[in-house]
Chains A and B, each alone.
Chain A
Amino acid sequence: MIGALLSVLLLLAMLIAATMGFMKIPVAEVVAVIVHKIAGFGAVPDPVAAGIVLDVRLPRIIGAALVGGALAVCGAVFQAILRNPLADPYTLGISSGAAFGASLLIVLQVFGLVLPASLSIPVFAFAGSIATLFVVLALAGGARRLSSTSLILSGVIVAAILSAAIGFLKFLADEQVGIIIFWLMGSLSGISWINIALLLPVVCCGLVVCLLFSRELNIMAAGERTAATLGVHTARLRWMLLLVCSLMTAVSVAVSGIIGFVGLIVPHLLRHLFGPDNRRLILFSFLGGAILLVVADTLTRAVLPSEVPIGVLTALIGGPVFCVIFYRRQRDCR
């Protein structure tokens, strides 16, 4: 019921987002363009409008939905697995790894290194985040049980080292430092259909895996011992879901840069509204995160006078919202 409502909201948000921008295109025409493209019937739309909708706006809107959904789902899963309400998709240092990869490439280019075009920023960001993930898992996995404390601690340590390294790269970049800073703030403006072809399968498969194991995630909340004596393979489940979610996050970060707070706020807010049952929460988080990022991206793209980096916007909106939720909860608990 709530799921259906959120799905409708998401589709509406995407549709309205497609009408907005430098050139206003009526809803009817957007629908006509999409129907003509997919089903091949109906009136032949205006080629300019069709070009804007299909090649410029839709990839970005779909990309925003996929990235937002993926980040929110990963946030929900990380919070459940790490048993820490402050966990988000970046807890294991994935964002720092991606930022390091991207900064490294930018600096290399500043120094005049010519690389093949296929080795773009997303590729470096992805490689950086995956490498970081394995270092963190190797550090924490020494104890084999992969306890949440050792995971979080390893993530913090590795992220701290990487952020120092990024600082050094910024220093090296000198006057070109703006490119690094802008990437770090996140943006969906560069998303093309090629990115969607990468995002869509990874995010969809990841979502299905998370949904399949949502019941086990609920049981994990009761603690390692209880979960294990109920027949849950706790260590195997941890490894698998951490890997799946890290992949989803790495792919998202690679195409969009670092967009904070979505993974932290959305699961929190939805848990607050609809309860902690992961069988519902994961799907709701996907839809909620998708809606949030589509709306936020449309704001930066079409409503605000100049394009604000979306990572800044989500943090500026998300931060205070989080503060309010947090304050209310504290007050209610008393």
Chain B
Amino acid sequence: MIAGRPAHVSGALWRLDRIGFGYGGQPVLADFSYQFEQGCCYGVLGPNGSGKTTLLDLLCGLLVPESGAILFNGRPLADWRPRALARQVALVPQEFAIDFDFSVRMVVEMGRYPHLGRFEDLDERDHALVRRVMAELAIDGLADRPVNRLSGGEKQRVAVARALVQEPAVLLLDEATSNLDIFHTLSILGAVGGRVRARGLTVIAALHDLNQATFFCDRLLFLKQGRLVCHGPIDEVLRPDVIGEVYGVQAKVVYSDFSQCYQVSFRVPEGGC
């Protein structure tokens, strides 16, 4: 059941072949194979410690697998220079913090770094892009405020803006909306989702909330203890038996006409957790 499609399929972005990774002998990901396609929105789901963040770190080259191979755009990931990779892949971490009182504008402008030569400064096009993205995420009014004085929701929008200004082909969201209220969550996911449909952006999002995943993603990957349990389009894999196996809870999946997506409700299994 763990099978990536052959490499010649057009639009293949990452090809992970039997990846293994661990910290100090403790395996975090094992025998992990998958192929990520372009223009798709992936949700990576699983309980705490199932290897979601590790998977994202491996995809953007922050971690190097102990075994197996990762190809990105047909080339081994290790052969990519960090700046070249940064022009393709951006990451939004769960919590964004910055030392010192950098302003919102300066932080968003940092996203242009991989596109600039050492002695090059932002040109008019860069500034226009920065302004546009800040307006899109409704943080243009905060441009001169220090990031550290903002609320959690505002900070996270700054982090997303910084990543979008990077103009990546792929956006990795590492539980980027976990600490936000529902309004801010939907507005961030909305801004990102718009780019998936309009410009073929690929998104790989590690998520805690199944209902956010159904709202936002096309395909889901379920991880448990570092293994890929199940993957596929939402209507194929979002089943009570899969959720039960992965999370150990009883679940019911219904299509909600109101949200226009599947919704999951839960309860403690009979006999307790």
Contact = CB atoms under 8 A, between A and B. Distances in A.
Interface of A: 80, 83, 85, 212, 215, 218-219, 221-223, 225-226, 228-233, 271, 275-277
B212 to A, nearest CB: 22
Of the listed residues B61, B83, B99, B110, the one surrounded by the most CB atoms of chain A closer than 10 A to its CB is: B99
A231 B99 contact: no
Contact of A230 (B106, B111, B118): B111
Interface of B: 57, 60-62, 81-87, 89-91, 93, 96-103, 106-107, 110-111, 113-114, 118, 159, 162, 166, 172
Given A223-B93, A277-B106, A233 B118 contact: no
A230 B62 contact: no
Contacts of B90: 229
B82 A83 contact: no
Given A221-B98, A276-B101, A229 B106 contact: no
29 contacts: A80-B99, A80-B100, A83-B99, A85-B100, A218-B102, A221-B98, A221-B100, A222-B97, A222-B98, A223-B93, A225-B57, A225-B93, A226-B93, A229-B90, A229-B91, A230-B86, A230-B110, A230-B111, A230-B113, A230-B114, A230-B166, A231-B85, A232-B113, A271-B101, A275-B101, A275-B103, A276-B101, A276-B102, A277-B106
Contacts of A83: 99
4 interchain residue pairs of minimum CB distance: A231-B86, A231-B83, A276-B100, A231-B114
Of the listed residues A80, A229, A275, A276, the one surrounded by the most CB atoms of chain B closer than 10 A to its CB is: A229
Contacts of B87: 231
A222 B114 CA distance: 15
Nearest to B85: A231
Nearest to B100: A276
A223 B86 contact: no
Given A219-B110, A226-B162, A276-B102, 14 more contacts: A83-B99, A218-B110, A221-B98, A222-B96, A222-B97, A223-B97, A223-B98, A225-B57, A225-B93, A228-B82, A229-B89, A230-B86, A231-B81, A275-B101
A18 to B, nearest CB: 36
Nearest to B86: A231
